[in-house]
């Protein structure tokens, strides 16, 4: 029984640490929608979205400049800066853009 209680305490403290953020920005991983965009250069291209896209976005995001993370020769991720996201006039991007 004691082992079960210790295990439950460990699990609950683990979940609390996942919810904490070291950033002071207004966005969190839960509301990343509209803060990045998949740009595809070939309309007939079938996109592959990596499973770790949120990690890529967060690690590549800059404070003052838009960044582009290449996925392959036909695709890249456009990642808005923290300044743009926190701007009062911020408008969310479409998830995929073909051009």
DSSP 21: -
* Residue 72 located in a structural domain: yes
Structural domain span for residue 29: 23-98
In a domain, 80, yes or no: yes
For residue 51, tell me if it sits in a domain: yes
Q: How far is CA 46 from CA 8, 49, 99, in A?
A: 44, 10, 13
Read off the pLDDT of residues 6-52 as tens digits, 9 standing for 90 and up: 555 555 555 444 444 434 345 444 568 899 999 998 777 777 888 89
In a domain, 9, yes or no: no
pLDDT value, residue 78? 96
Total number of domains in the chain: 1
Whether the predicted model's global pTM rises above the 0.75 cut: no
Judged on CB neighbours under 10 Å (0-12, 13-18, 19+), 61 is: buried
In a domain, 2, yes or no: no
In a domain, 18, yes or no: no
The C-alpha atoms of residue 87 and residue 79 are separated, in whole angstroms, by 15
């Amino acid at each position: 029984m004691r082992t079960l209680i210790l295990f439950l305490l460990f699990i609950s403290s683990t979940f609390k640490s996942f919810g904490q953020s070291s950033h002071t920005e207004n966005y969190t991983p839960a509301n990343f929608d509209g803060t990045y965009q998949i740009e595809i250069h070939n309309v007939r291209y079938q996109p592959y979205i990596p499973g770790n896209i949120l990690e890529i976005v967060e690690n590549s995001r800059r404070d003052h400049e838009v960044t582009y993370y290449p996925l392959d020769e036909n695709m890249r991720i456009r990642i808005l800066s923290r300044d743009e996201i926190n701007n009062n006039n911020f408008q969310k991007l479409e998830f995929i853009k073909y051009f």
